[in-house]
Amino acid sequence: MCYLIAKKFGSVGSLALQTSHGQHLVDFKRKIMSEVGTDEIQLVTISRPSAYGEYEPYQFVDTEQEFEQKVKVL
């Protein structure tokens, strides 16, 4: 288990999606990066949200669809 985090540079807080490591996660991250770019949005994979205070507060989402939609409007 891990968390995919999306943070807009210079803003407070981030989106978080609980997911699993593997090729599906790699493909999902690539899809999002191709749609929103990397100039304003940072995508990272972390093990525990509590260990990464620089991304707090977290807004947890339940699905990849919801994550993708919200990243597009960050």
Residues 10-68 have pLDDT tens digits of 999 999 999 999 999 999 999 999 999 889 999 999 999 999 999 999 999 999 999 99
* Total domains, the chain: 1
8, β-bridge pairs: 41
Q: Which helix (H) or strand (E) holds 29?
A: helix 23-36
Residue 18 belongs to what domain range?
2-72
Q: How far is CA 45 from the centre of its chain?
A: 7
Read off the tokens for 58: 């977290």
